[in-house]
Amino acid sequence: MTLSRLIAILSVLLWLPLAASAQDAETTTSDPRAATGGVQTLEDILARQRGEKIDMSFRSDLTGPDADEAAFVQQLGTLGITSDPALWRALRYNDVTLSVSSRTPAAEVVMQDAGMQWLAWRAGPLRTYGGYLLLAMIGLLAVFLALRGRIRTDHPLTGRKVLRFNSIERFAHWLLAGSFILLGITGLVQLFGRVAIIPLIGHEAFAPIAIAGKWVHNNVAWAFMLGLVMVTVFWIAHNIPNRLDLKWIAVGGGLFKKGVHPPAKKFNAGQKIIFWSVVVLGFSISASGLSLLFPFELPMFAATFEKLNAFGVPGWFGMEPLKTVLAPHEEMQLAQLWHAIVAFVFMAIILAHIYIGSIGMEGAFDAMGKGEVDETWAKEHHSLWLEELKAKESKDAAASTPAE
């Protein structure tokens, strides 16, 4: 061997490791998962733990050979389950055709990983902020009662009564109100039972309460929806906003100052706000409630998200487009979260309504209890409505008086 040939061989041997490491580096840059054969790396796991969003398509696409899917699924046969990562990925990403004996569409989804996110939301922010919202509203009303006291009529009562709500209106109101209270209480029992009731009375005592609460919640919902439709039909015409509402709002409805009585028709601006809140939140909570009552039959979020994306709504809040392909379970989880969020807002508003309709204002309960109010009350709180009522009475009386 000549010296020059020896040097050449040594040079090649010397550069080979460097070239190999350069190639490794190049591979690492282009495919960070080359070292693991395409599956996740430690960095992927750490990134997830840091809460970073990572593209999971490298896992969802790695679910086995498409052409041989039948043979692939047969691994779940009578010979037992082969522990095959690709098979589990296929199950996880719902990329496999399964045959199940259950008839529900969700039964074919063996795994779905949004469940933990839902559970964390339900057990965390939902309970915490929902509970604080209700407590804050109760506290606010207590402070208002302490500062303002019970709102009484400024003038003495006349003893003359006028019909404010007829019996069918009152029936509809109480059908809605009674069912709402039952739904609110049983809903809170379902949500807070594990953290607030079981520690007090134990699992055995809570179990029948939870079962009864579930029955009440599922079935009383129909009475709520019936009451909601009745109330909407009866009162929607009286609740169209008008210029009077601005005047009413400008003086806070006279709620904060004695002797202030802005004119109002059958419903003042405050009552209109309550009415429209009940209609909007009531129909929304009914929609999500129906979706929950008939599991997996009435999915609504994928379609809603598609429309929101089409209008670019997520972009307004600096968000990525919302997911439009959702597993059946994800639909149910979102329906439950939305149902509960709307319920908390609804309950907070209705607490204020119950307050002003009972202890907050003298004579207010009579309107919906007996259906009649004193003329003084009507004059102070709904002056234009009383004038219309008087004018109609005079006209009817004139029409019924025989001409001489």
The site for another protein (CB under 8 A) is made up of: 101-104, 107, 167-168, 170-175, 178-179, 182, 215-216, 218-220, 222-223, 226-227, 294-295, 368-371
Residue 200's identity, in one-letter code, is L
3-state SS, residue 300: coil
Contacts of 382 (CB under 8 A, 6+ apart): 264, 265, 266, 268
Q: What six digits make up the tokens of 161? A: 């009564």
| C-alpha to C-alpha distance for 88 and 95, rounded to whole angstroms | 10
For residue 129, the number of C-alpha atoms closer than 13 Å in the C-beta half-sphere is 11
Give 76 or 244: the residue with its C-beta nearer to another protein. 76
Give 215 or 256: the residue with its C-beta nearer to another protein. 215
Give 261 or 329: the residue with its C-beta nearer to another protein. 329
Phi–psi pair at 162, nearest 5 degrees: -125, 145
Give 15 or 171: the residue with its C-beta nearer to another protein. 171
Give 133 or 226: the residue with its C-beta nearer to another protein. 226
| C-alpha to C-alpha distance for 266 and 322, rounded to whole angstroms | 43
Q: Which of 299, 290, 371 is nearest to 330 (CA)?
A: 299
Radius of gyration of the chain (CA): 33
| C-alpha to C-alpha distance for 134 and 143, rounded to whole angstroms | 14
Query: Cα–chain-centroid distance for residue 137?
Result: 19
Question: Considering the complex, what minimum distance in angstroms separates the CB of residue 356 from another protein?
Answer: 18
Question: Considering the complex, what minimum distance in angstroms separates the CB of residue 329 from another protein?
Answer: 14
Question: Considering the complex, what minimum distance in angstroms separates the CB of residue 167 from another protein?
Answer: 5
Give 262 or 357: the residue with its C-beta nearer to another protein. 357
